[in-house]
């Protein structure tokens, strides 16, 4: 098991028994206890057992919830993450805790061999990124702040760093040349083993001998039938090693890297971040116009590049082949978060989200088409319900004025958490909790949902 700092660790409260739904007051208390138990000096870990470091997009979702419970810690989470930002603007997907042993998590710092970040110990980050939801989170924490001058100071510190993050993704990662960022690894999407990556990932040789040299740790803590297969994991390691061995250089990716995908969820979040940055710019005295222009540009690029009119939703594009994946995944619904999406596209996404393939009445929207022959209700992003993407969809519904649908989805999310506990993800059929218990972003977003007006 992972070693933890016993001075700061409080054992999480056990999850409720199956079928024993918590009241809203009980859920609020339980969620706060989870966040308190997972706090580690200057950041919150996703879970004590399986994820003992700081994860990038987790930190953003966690900050949204901490705004309702411990606002000063919300800013700490964002600050500690952006203190590890690379010189080129990328924000690494993991910031490693030097107090956690290398053998307790793989792939750890030694595998990634990242260059030093000023003010940090060398090699304590990964070299890949995750969806840039941080500007959205920063704006939400500011909106909830009671001490506005202090919150404005936090935004002033974060704003140039958030801008550099966006510039890196719009610049170095526009491999396709059409204004969308490409991911170089499935882990960058946050939707690690989604069926959206299957076709592109098939081009990566699956060298299972890598798993003899690099032993997985996740299956020591979690049920292997719930995790990515060894074949997929071998491909993940090969891709990460190839990017590392190139010195994490982005120049020439199209000629040498085997996995390059334009993800609709990643790019929709990239666009939503620009909308949030426009709001932040007005607070800190910067010009919001470039952010609004960039958000409009990325919305148009999504419509031009990733929309499939036949399905009414968005699909991942393999930059190497130019093909859209046929898989209908929750990532294809997330452009709903963009306020500039045309009304007919919003209507099509709403129809798909409410269809038998997804359905948001309860349990909430699954990560993959329920009717697909390879739908898997238990395996990670290949079927289960995740609260963070449902929270983004809920925001999208509210943005476009679909209050009734948003209310239905909010109720479904809170019901599954009340009955199952603050789990990492949930069975899309019976709502049972799966994966890590006492999971931080589930707890954090429960607090935000409970506070919604």
> Residue 292, exposed/middle/buried by CB under 10 A (0-12, 13-18, 19+)?
middle
Question: Across-strand partners of 426?
Answer: 385, 433
SS3 call for 25: helix
CB neighbour list of residue 253: distance below 8 Å, 6 or more residues apart:
175, 182, 184, 260
Secondary structure letter of residue 337 according to DSSP: G
Secondary structure letter of residue 224 according to DSSP: G
Q: Transcribe 53-120 into DSSP letters.
A: SEEHHHHHHHHHHHTTT-HHHHHHHHHHHHTT--TTS---SEE--TTS-GGGSSS-HHHH-PPP-TTS
Task: List helix spans (H) across 93-217.
Answer: 109-112, 134-144, 148-171, 186-189, 198-201, 210-213
> Going by DSSP bridges, is the β-strand pair 313-314/307-308 parallel, antiparallel, or unpaired?
antiparallel
Q: Indicate which residue of 192, 274, 352, 448 is catalytic.
A: 192
Phi/psi at 398 (5° precision): -65, -40
Q: Which two tokens stand for residue 225?
A: 């039938």
* Nearest-angstrom CA–CA distance, 138 and 159: 9
> Residue 40, exposed/middle/buried by CB under 10 A (0-12, 13-18, 19+)?
buried
CB atoms within 10 A of CB 62: 29
Q: Indicate which residue of 262, 424, 427, 448 is catalytic.
A: 424
CB neighbour list of residue 62: distance below 8 Å, 6 or more residues apart:
35, 44, 74, 77, 440, 441, 444
* Nearest-angstrom CA–CA distance, 172 and 181: 8
Q: Is 430 annotated in the active site?
A: no
User: Length of the chain in residues, anyone?
Assistant: 453
How many Cα atoms are found within 13 Å in the side-chain-facing hemisphere of 4? 22
CA angle 227, 137, 181 (to 5 degrees): 65
The terminus-to-terminus CA distance of the chain in angstroms comes to 41
Q: Is 424 annotated in the active site?
A: yes
Phi/psi at 388 (5° precision): -65, -40
Asked if residue 363 has a cis previous peptide bond (ω within 30° of 0), the answer is yes
* Catalytic residue IDs: 192, 424
């Amino acid at each position: 098991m992972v070693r933890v700092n016993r001075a700061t660790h409080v054992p999480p409260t056990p999850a409720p028994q199956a079928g024993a739904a918590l009241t809203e007051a009980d859920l609020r208390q339980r969620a706060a206890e989870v966040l308190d138990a997972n706090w580690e000096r200057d950041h919150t870990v996703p879970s004590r057992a399986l994820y003992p470091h700081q994860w990038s997009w987790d930190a953003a979702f966690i900050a949204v919830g901490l705004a309702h419970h411990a606002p000063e810690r919300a800013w700490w989470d964002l600050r500690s993450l952006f203190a590890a930002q690379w010189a080129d603007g990328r924000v690494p997907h993991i910031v490693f805790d030097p107090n956690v042993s290398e053998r307790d998590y793989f792939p750890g710092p030694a595998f990634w061999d990242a260059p030093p970040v000023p003010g940090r110990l060398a090699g304590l980050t990964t070299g890949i990124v995750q969806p840039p939801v941080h500007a959205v989170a920063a704006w939400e924490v500011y909106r909830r702040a009671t001490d506005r001058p202090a919150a404005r100071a936090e935004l002033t510190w974060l704003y140039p760093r958030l801008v550099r993050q966006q510039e890196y993704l719009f610049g170095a990662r526009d491999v396709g040349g059409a204004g969308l960022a490409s991911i170089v690894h499935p882990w960058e999407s946050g939707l690690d083993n989604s069926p959206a990556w299957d076709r592109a990932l098939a081009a990566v040789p699956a060298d299972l001998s890598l798993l003899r040299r690099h032993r997985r740790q996740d299956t020591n803590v979690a049920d292997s039938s719930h995790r990515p297969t060894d074949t997929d994991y071998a491909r993940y390691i090969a891709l990460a090693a190839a990017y590392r061995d190139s010195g994490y250089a982005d120049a020439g990716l199209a000629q040498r890297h085997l996995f390059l995908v334009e993800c609709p969820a990643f790019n929709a979040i990239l666009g939503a971040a620009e909308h949030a940055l426009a709001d932040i710019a007005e607070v800190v005295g910067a010009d919001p116009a470039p952010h609004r222009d960039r958000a409009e540009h990325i919305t148009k690029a999504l419509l031009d590049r990733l929309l499939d009119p036949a399905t009414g939703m968005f699909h991942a594009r393999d930059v190497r082949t130019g093909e859209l994946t046929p898989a209908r995944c929750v990532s294809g619904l997330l452009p709903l978060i963009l306020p500039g999406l045309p009304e007919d596209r919003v209507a099509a996404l709403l129809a798909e989200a409410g269809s038998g393939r997804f359905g948001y009445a309860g349990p909430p929207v699954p990560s993959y088409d329920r009717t697909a022959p390879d739908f898997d209700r238990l395996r990670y992003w290949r079927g289960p319900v995740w609260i963070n993407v449902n929270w983004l969809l809920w925001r999208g519904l509210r943005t476009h004025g679909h209050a009734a649908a948003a209310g239905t989805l909010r109720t479904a999310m809170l019901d599954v958490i009340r009955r199952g506990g603050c789990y990492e993800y949930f069975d899309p059929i019976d709502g049972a909790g799966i994966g890590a218990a006492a999971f931080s972003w589930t707890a954090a977003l429960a607090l935000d949902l409970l506070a919604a007006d």
